[in-house]
Amino acid sequence: MEFSNQEPIDLKDGKKRIQIKDCHAFGPQFKNLTENSIHELVDPPEDYKQGDRGFWVQGVGEPVLVLHSELTEL
């Protein structure tokens, strides 16, 4: 299944969220990105855009990019 055109989930509170499918990133900042965990989108770092390669969520201590292939719709 291809997720490159996937839109983030917009729940009733208006916040955009994604669900982690299978995150292959490593490092302490990715420790909270576990299978099936749900995360609100955060503003990307300066000079980056939301949605180009994936979506930015809050990792441990800093924003991290979750690639389209690593997330799924709820």
Answer yes or no: is pLDDT of 4 > 60. no
Where does residue 47 fall: left (phi above 0), alpha (psi -120 to 50 degrees), or beta otherwise?
left
Using DSSP, state whether 28 is helix, strand or coil.
Answer: helix
Sketch out the chain's domains with CATH numbers: 9-72 (2.30.30)
pTM confidence score: 0.80
Asked if 68 and 53 touch (Cβ cutoff 8 Å), the reply is yes
Asked if 65 and 52 touch (Cβ cutoff 8 Å), the reply is no
Q: Using CA atoms, how far apart are residues 56 and 12, in angstroms rounded to an integer?
A: 20
Q: Using one digit for the tens of pLDDT, what is the confidence trace for 36-73?
A: 999 999 999 999 988 889 999 999 999 999 999 999 75
Q: Using CA atoms, how far apart are residues 54 and 71, in angstroms rounded to an integer?
A: 8
